[in-house]
Chain A
Amino acid sequence: MGMDFSTLRTLISRYCVGEENWVDSRTIYIGHKEPPPGTEAFIQQRFPDNRIVSSKYTFWNFVPKNMFEQFRRVANFYFLIIFLVQLIIDTPTSPITSGLPLFFVITVTSIKQGYEDWLRHKADNSVNQCPVHVVQHGKVVRKQSRKLRVGDVVFMKENETFPCDLILLSTSRDDGTCFVTTASLDGESSHKTHYAVQDTKAYITEKEVDSIQATIECEQPQPDLYKFVGRINIYMDNEPVARPLGAENLLLRGATLKNTEHIYAVAIYTGMETKMALNYQSKTQKRSAVEKSMNAYLVVYLCILISKALINTLLKYVWQADSNRDEPWYNNRTDTERQRHIVIRAFTDFLAFMVLFNYIIPVSMYVTVEMQKFLGSYFIMWDDDMFDEELGERAVVNTSDLNEELGQVEYVFTDKTGTLTENNMEFIECCVDGHIYVADAICNGQVMPGATSMDMIDSSPGPGAREHEELFFRALCLCHTVQVKEEETVDGIKHGIHQGKSTSFYISSSPDEVALVEGMKRLGFTYLRLRDGHMEILNREDEIERFELLEVLTFDSVRRRMSVIVRSSTGELYLFCKGADSSIFPRVISGKVEEVRARVEHNAVEGLRTLCVAYRPLSPEQYTEVCHMLNGAKLSLHDRDKRLAEAYDAIEKDLILLGATAVEDRLQEKAADTIESLHKAGMKVWVLTGDKMETAAATCYASKLFHRNTQILELTTKRTEEQNLHDVLFDLSRTVLRQHGGMARDSFSGLSGDCTDFGLIIDGATLSAVMRPAQEDSNSGNYKEIFLEICRNCSAVLCCRMAPLQKAQIVKLIKASEEHPITLAIGDGANDVSMILEAHVGIGIMGKEGRQAVRNSDYAIPKFKHLKKILLVHGHYYYIRISELVQYFFYKNVCFIFPQFLYQFFCGFSQQPLFDTAYLTLYNISFTSLPILLYSLIEQHINVDILKKDPSLYRDIAKNSLLRWPIFIYWTLLGVYDAIVMFFGAYFLFDNTTFTSNGQLMTTNTQMMFGNWTFGTLVFTVLVFTVTFKLALDTHYWTWINHFVIWGSLVFFVVFSLLWGGIIRPFLNYQRMYYVFMQMLSSGPAWLSIILLITASLLPDVLKKVICRALWPTTTECIQTKRRCLASEPSTIFMLSQTSSRISF
C-alpha cells in the first residue's frame, strides 16, 4: 500500500515538477528551518507522517474490502457464481448446497484475516503512540511517534528503538559515535558503530542542536538496508559546507541504541517510507510442482464439467423434440416457463447442469489442501531431530506452500562457508616471506590470557625479514573492521583486554577477521581498541602502539579485499591491504611472491582459507591525492558505488607482498554423510562459493562431494587462457558423453558406484563467459546448452569465485533448462539470499552471518545436516501425502458426480439430482473430509528410520511421479468405474423392465415401495463406504487416530442419516428423506447389495495394487515387503524402532 502510494507520488511529482532531480533525491530541512536566503531554493516536498500502517482494513471497510479481496480469487469467484446462478434461476439443487460451504470458507477466512488485522492494528497503535522526544525551539518535547515528521530532530536515549530512519547528528560520546544493534532487523546481535556527521558532532545540547542550520539531500527511500547516499549542507556563517552521508550515518527504524547515553538525530524517512517498512513488503510467491499439476487437473475437470453439461443439454433437447416427452399431460410447465424463449431456456438448462455437476471441482479441496499444508508444516517445527542444542534453535517454516516440493528436489545448490562448513574460523598459521608461524594454543572464541607463544618452524629470519614480520603482524592488527566489545561498562571505566581479563571479545561481521585478530593476539600482538580515531595495539613488549586510522576501504565481494590507511606514531603513512590471493597478487610489485604463492596453494589444497597481506608506504603527497579521490567519490550522489570502486582500484596498487594467512573452517558435523545421502537420493549437489578454487575443492573432497575416483573436469580461467572457451567446452562434453554412454551400460551390472563419475569445477569468470548472450559468432549461442549438457552428466559441480548474483544466475539457468528440474538453494549468508529467492525452495541456515538468509528463506534449519531429514523424510512424506490428497479428492468427486450424470439419462435430462440436498452439501464437508485430511497429515508409507537409512527411496517419487497423467487417468477411471458399479448396481436392483426382476419390495414386516430418494440413498451409502474404504486400503499407517476418524466418519454418516430421516418437525416443508434411510436399512436386499457393490467397487483397485506389487514392485514396495518379512524374525533395527516408539508413547 505504502509502496504504491509512494511510487504514485513519485510519478506525479515527476510529471508536475518536471525536474529529474526531485525524483531521485529529497531535501530535508533540519528542524524545519529554511536555509538562509541566497542559497539554492528548494521546493518543499511533502512527506508522509510517521504512522506505520500494517493493517489492511478499518472498522468500516472491513466487510466490503475483505469480501472483495476474497472473491478476487478465481476459485471463490467460481463458487460465488455457482451460488448466484442457483439463487437466480431454477436449479436442481438448493442454493444451500453451494452457499453453505462457500459461506463457511469465506467466514472462516475473514474471521482469521480480521483477527490478524486486529492484532496488526494493536501492534500499529502501540508503535504509533509510543512517546518520542523531539527538540522544538531548543527544548525537548514529548510527541507521539506517529506525529513525527521528516526534518524533526529527535532525542534518543540508550536502549530506545529508533522510530524512523534518522541521520545521526551528535552523540553523548566524545568521538561522535554510537552503537546500535539491528537484531530485530537482520538478527545480527553484534553492536555496530555509527558515526555522527563530523561538523555537527560538537552540538551536544538541545539548544545547540536547535541552532544547526542545515539541509540534507539524499536519495528517495529504497529498501536496501545497507545502502544509503546523501549529502548534508551545513550553513555556517551563510557559507554552506557539504559533507557526504553514508550508511554509517544512518540509523534505521527498528534498530536499538546501545552503549550510548543519548544521541540527537534528524528524521529523514518516516512511516511507510522507512527502510524497514519497505523491506517487509512483497516477497515473490513461490508455487510448488504439485500445485501446478493440481491446476492442470482442474482445467481437465473444468473441461469435463462443461462438456458434461453441454452433452446433457444437447441430449435433453434431442430427447424433448417430441412434445409428449417434453410436456406429457401429467407434467405441465407453468405459463411463464412456456413463454420463455428457447435459447434462454437452453442456456438456463446448461447452467442448471453446471450447477448439478459443479461438485466435481470441490470447494473443500482448497480448504483441505490449505489446512494440510498449514498443519503439516508444524511437524517440521516440532521435529526434535532438527533441534540444535548448541544454537537452541529449531527448524522454522516461513511458508507452508512448499512442503511437498521438499520431496521433489533434483538440484541442491549449497553455499560452502557456513553451510557445508561451520564458519567457525580458527587461525592455523601465517607465512611471512616463506617463514611459517604457527599459533600453538589453538582455540577459538576464548583465549587464555597471556598465553602467547610462538613457534618458529623455519630458522629465525634475517634482519630484513624481521622488518617484514613486524609489518605483517601490525598489518593484520590494523587492517580489519573488528570491534572490541567489553562485557561491562561501569561508569565509563572499561574493563578490557589491557587489564588482562578475558571479559572482552571481538565482534565482526566476518568470522575470518576475528580469527585473524585472535591469531595475532596469540602471536603477541593484541588489538586493543579504536579510540579517537586511533587504533591501539599491545605489542610483544607490552607497549601500546597507536596508529591513526585515516581511511578504511571496506571489503566487498567484487574486489575481494579491504584496505586501511594508517599513520603511525612516527608519522609514516601506510596502506595495509588484505584479500584473496587472486585479487592481491596482480597488484603486487615486490615481495617474495613465489614462496608465498606456493604456501598459499599448499594451504588451499589442505582446505584452509587463505588471505594475502600486502602493504604500500604512502608519501604525504600520495596521501593527499588519495584523500582527494576518496572524498570526491564519497561526495557524489550518483553512482557513488561505481566511483568508489574506481577510486579503490586506483589506490590499491603497487603493493608489496608481506605474507599470507591460513584459517581453517571446519566441516559441519555430518556434512559428508548428508551430501552422500543426497547423492544417493538422486539429487545433484552443486557447491556455489565465493571462495577460491583450491580451498573449495578441498572442502568438496572432505565433504565427499568428490570421491577419489571422481574424474574432475575443470572449466576455469586457467584452462580457458590456454585454449579458447569453445574448444574446452566441446572437449569436455565429448569426454562426458562418451563415458556416459558406457556408464549407462555398466549401471546394470554394478550399482555400487565403482564406475567413474564426473565432477565439474567452474569459476565465476568462465561462467560469465559461458553465460554471455549470443554474439555474432554463431557457435557461442550454444555455450549455455553445451554447458548444461556437461553439468547434467556430472554428479557434482563446484562453482567457485562466485559473486552473489552469479549464484542466482546459475540457479536460474538450471531452472530454465528443458527438464525444468526442481531446485533447492541452501545458504546462510546475505550473499546467498539471491539464490535462495531464485530457487524453487530456499533454505536458510541459522549461521553466524546474520539472519538475512533465514529471513528470506522458505524454510530455515539450524545445521546443514538437518537437510537430510527435511528432504528425505519430511519432503518425502509431504509429497506422498499431498499427491494422495489431490488424487483422492478428484477420485471421490468423480464417484460422487458421475452417478448423477448417469441418472440424467433415466430422468429425461431434467437435472433431477440423484442425492438429497443434505447429502450433496455434506459429502465433501463432513462425510469424507476428515479421513483424507488426517491421512494427508500422518500417513507414513515407510518408517522414518528406513527413509533416512535408504535415501534411494527418494528416487521413487522424483519428477512428480505420483501426479503424472497416467496415474491421474487411472484414478479418474477408477472413479468412473466405481460410479458405474454403484449406479447400475442400484439400477438393476430397482429396475423392472425385464419380466422377472423386482427389487422394489422389501420384506420382513412390510412390503413397501422404494422411490427415487431411496435409490439415491442406496447409491450414496455405497459411495460413502466405498471411498472411505478406498482410503483405508491406501493407508499404511494406522494409528488410533486413523481408526477413530475413518470408522468415526462412517458412523457419523449413519447417525446423521438416521437423524435426518427421523426428524420431521423443523423441516416440515422438506420431507423427501423422511424414514428413507431406515426403510432402506430394514430391507435385506439393500444390505446385501450394499455389501456386494462395495466389494465390486474396491476389487479392481486391490487387484491392481497386489499385482503391481508382485510383478513390478517399486523400491518403496520392495522395502515395505522386506520389512514385513523381517518383522517375523527379530531384526535389530525393527526392534529398535519398536521400542523407541513404545517408549515415546
Chain B
Amino acid sequence: MMASSYTAKEEDGHITVSGPGALRSRKPENTAFKQQRLPAWQPILTAGTVLPAFFIIGLLFIPIGIGLFVTSNNIKEFEIDYTGVDASSPCYNCSQSFSWNSSRPCTCSIPFYLEQPYESNVYVYYGLSNFYQNHRRYVKSRDDSQLNGDPKSLMEPSKECEPYAFHENKPIAPCGAIANSMFNDTLELFYNDPNGTKVQILLNTTGIAWWTDKHVKFGNPGRNSPNLTAAFQGTTKPINWRRPVFDLDADEANNGFINEDFIVWMRTAALPTFRKLYRIINKKSGMVPTLPRGNYSLEVVYNYPVRSFEGRKRMILSTISWMGGKNPFLGIAYITVGSVCFFLGVVLLLIHHKCGNRNNNADISN
C-alpha cells in the first residue's frame, strides 16, 4: 500500500533531447566491480564449519559462567526492609504518622545481626520498590542546564519541570519532579560491641557519584564563588525538601548541585525496583574486618513516605568483586548458554556424521 505509492514514478513526459555525445563507445568497462566479479571470501554455514564454533563457545562460556557464579556467591550481601508495614516493625509508627510538614523528625532503630565479617570495602545502598523513577513524566522533569549552573536557567527553569518549576512565583532550584522527590531518609549504622558500647560506623559520603557527573555535568551557579547562599538567591527550595539546596552538606565541595546524594538520585533508575548507592564504609587498615561479625543497629530518620504507593524501603550492605555486585544471573546465563552450545555441538556432530554419509552416497550414486 505504502511502498507502491512510494515507488510511483513520475509519469510526466520526458522529452529527451539527445545530445551530440551519444556516439561515444557504449561498451561497458570490464572492471571486477562492474562485472560483479570482485574477489570474495564465500563462507557457508554448514554443520561442519559451525561445529568447532559451537564447541569453542561451549568450552569458553561454561568456565566463565562458573567463574562468575563463584565470584557472585563469594560476595556478601545483607538486606533489611525498614518500611514498617508490619505492626511488629520498629518503624511502624513512623510509617503511620507521616506528614510532610511535621517539624520533629520521626526516628526508628532496627537491630540486625551479621553472621559473617565483611572484609573489604562495604557499600551501603538504599533500595526502593514500586517507585517509578522511569515514568516518562518523571524522567524528563529536570533541567540539565540549570543543574550545570547556568544562571539563566536557574531563574527561568525549563518548562519540562512543570509543575515543579515555580513555587510562590519564585523559581525552584533544583526544579522538577526528580529533584523534588529526592530520597531524604538518614541512615546511620551502629555496631553493638560485645562489651556493650555502641559504636557509630563512619559512613563516607563522597565517591558515590560518577566523576564526570560531579565535575562536568553538575555545577553550582557561579562555580567559583565561595558563597553558595548568594548564588542561589532569588530561588526557592523544592516543595518537599526540608532544607534549601545550598544547605545539603557542610562540605563546600559536596554542597548545592554537586552534592553526591543529589547526583545519585538524579540518575533515574531503569526499573521500578531499584537500589542506589548511599554510603561507603572504607576498609580499615590492618587485619581488622570492615564490619566484624556481630550485632548492629540501623538508625533511620524516617522522612520518606512510600506507603501511599505501596512502596518498600530497604537498606543493603554489600561487598563487591571485580565483576561488580552480587549477581548470579550472569553466571547462570553463561553456564546455560555454554551448555546449550555444547549440547547443540554434539547434536550437530551427529547430524553432520549422518548427513555427510548420506551426501557422499548420493554423490556416488550420481
Residues of chain A whose beta carbon lies under 8 Å from any beta carbon of chain B: 1-2, 52, 54, 56, 72-76, 78, 92, 113, 120, 123, 126-127, 184, 276-277, 280-283, 285, 287, 291, 294-295, 298-299, 324-325, 328-335, 361, 366, 369-370, 373, 378-379, 381-385, 387, 392-394, 399, 401, 877, 906-908, 910-913, 938, 940, 943-944, 985, 987-993, 995-1004, 1006-1012, 1014-1016, 1033, 1036-1042, 1064, 1068-1072, 1074-1075, 1078-1079, 1083-1085, 1088-1089, 1092, 1095-1096, 1099, 1102-1103, 1105-1107, 1109-1111, 1120-1122, 1124, 1140-1142, 1144-1145
Per-residue CB contact flags for chain B residues 339-356 toward chain A (1 = under 8 Å, else 0) read 011001000100110010
Task: Give the docked Cα–Cα distance between A381 and B36 (Å).
Answer: 12
Give every chain B residue within 8 A of A75 (Cβ-Cβ).
Answer: 2-3, 5-6
In the assembly, what is the distance between CA of A1102 and CA of B344, in Å?
Answer: 11
Shortest Cβ distance from B182 into A: residue: A330
Contact present for A331 and B137 (CB under 8 Å): yes
A907 touches B333 (CB 8 A): no
Inside 8 A of A988's CB, which chain B residues have their CB? 329, 333
Contact for A1106 among B46, B209, B264, CB less than 8 A:
B46
Name 20 A/B residue pairs within 8 A (Cβ), A-sorted. A381-B28, A384-B27, A912-B136, A944-B37, A993-B129, A996-B326, A997-B326, A998-B275, A1000-B324, A1003-B323, A1008-B208, A1015-B271, A1033-B45, A1074-B217, A1075-B217, A1088-B64, A1088-B334, A1095-B57, A1109-B46, A1120-B44
A419 to B12, CA, bound (A): 31
Q: Are B42 and A1001 in contact (CB under 8 A)?
A: no
B3 close to A369 (CB less than 8 A)? yes
A1069, B158: Cβ atoms closer than 8 Å:
yes
B198–chain A nearest beta-carbon distance, Å:
28
Contact in complex: A1092, B334 (CB < 8 Å): yes
- In the bound complex, CA of A1004 to CA of B68 (Å): 15
Contact for B7 among A72, A123, A370, A1089, CB less than 8 A? A370
Which residues of chain B from 305 to 324 have any CB-CB distance to chain A below 8 Å in the complex?
A: 305, 308-310, 316, 318, 320-324
Interface contact B325-A382, CB-CB below 8 Å: no
8 A Cβ contacts from B42-97 to A: 42-47, 50, 57, 61, 64, 68, 72, 77, 79
Stretch of B141-149, B220-228, B247-255, B288-296 that contacts chain A: B141-149
- Nearest A residue to B354, CB-CB: A1110
Cross-interface CB contact of A384 among B7, B35, B144, B326, cutoff 8 Å: B35
CB <8 Å contact, B337 and A1095: yes
Residues of A within 8 A of B64 (CB): 1088
B side interface size, CB within 8 A: 124
Q: What residues of B have a CB within 8 angstroms of the CB of A940 in the complex?
A: 36, 40, 42
B66 CB, min distance to chain A CBs, angstroms: 13
A993 & B273 in contact (Cβ 8 Å cutoff): yes
Is B268 close to A, CB under 8 A?
Answer: yes
B28 x A383 contact (CB < 8 A): yes
Minimum CB distance partner of A91 in chain B: B136
Contact between A938 and B217, CB atoms less than 8 A apart: no
Which residues, 73 to 127 on B, are CB-close (under 8 Å) to A? 77, 79, 123, 127
Q: Assuming A1085-B327, A1089-B333, what are 9 further A-B pairs, CB within 8 angstroms?
A: A328-B309, A379-B36, A382-B34, A384-B27, A907-B134, A908-B135, A1008-B208, A1089-B330, A1121-B46
How many Å lie between the Cα of A991 and that of B272 in the bound state? 9
Residue of A282, A1010, A1072, A1124 near B44 (CB, 8 A) is: A1124
Which residue of chain B lies nearest to A373 when distances are taken between CB atoms in the complex? B7
Q: B residues within 8 A CB of A1?
A: 12
Q: Which residue of B lies closest to A1064 (CB)?
A: B216
Query: Closest CB-CB distance, B122 to chain A, in whole Å?
Result: 11
B326 to A1037, Cβ gap below 8 A? no
What chain A residues lie within 8 Å of B197 (beta carbons)? none
Residues of A within 8 A of B151 (CB): none
Chain A residues with CB under 8 Å of B270's CB are: 990, 1010-1012, 1014-1016
Would you call B287 an interface residue if the criterion is a C-beta within 8 Å of the partner chain's C-beta atoms?
no
Report the separation of the CA atoms of residues A906 and B148 in the bound assembly, to the nearest whole angstrom.
30
Residue pair B324, A999 in contact (C-beta under 8 Å): yes
Q: Which of A277, A998, A1009, A1102 contacts B267 (CB 8 A)?
A: A1009
8 interchain residue pairs of minimum CB distance: A330-B181, A1015-B270, A998-B325, A1001-B325, A75-B2, A382-B34, A910-B136, A280-B13
Stretch with Cβ within 8 A of A (4 or more), from B14-22, B167-175, B185-193: B14-22
Contacts A120-B14, A1074-B217, A1092-B334 given; indicate if A331 touches B3 (C-beta within 8 A). Answer: no
Q: Are A912 and B39 in contact (CB under 8 A)?
A: no
Q: Does B32 contact A (CB under 8 A)?
A: yes
How far is A1010 from B268 in the complex, measured between Cα atoms in Å?
8
Q: A384-B28, A387-B28, A1039-B39 are in contact. Are A1083 and B14 (CB under 8 A)?
A: no
Q: Which residues of B contact A381 (CB under 8 A)?
A: 28
Chain A's nearest CB lies how many Å from the CB of B318? Answer: 7
- Shortest Cβ distance from B334 into chain A, in angstroms? 6
A residues in contact with B72, CB < 8 Å? 996
Which chain A residue has the least Cβ–Cβ distance from B360? A1125
In whole angstroms, how far apart are the Cα atoms of A1078 and B207 in the complex?
A: 18
Given contacts A299-B1, A379-B34, A1002-B324, contact A54 B15 (CB under 8 A): yes
> Per-position contact with A for B143-181: 1 when CB-CB < 8 Å, else 0?
111001010000000100011100000000000010011
Q: Which residue of A lies closest to B272 (CB)?
A: A906
A1061 to chain B, nearest CB (A): 9
Does A54 contact B12, Cβ atoms closer than 8 Å?
yes
Q: How far is the CA of A1038 from the CA of B43 in the complex (A)?
A: 8
Once the chains are docked, how many angstroms separate the CA of A87 from the CA of B325? 43
List B contacts of A987 (CB < 8 A): 271
Contacts of A998 in B (CB 8 A): 77, 275, 316, 318, 324-327
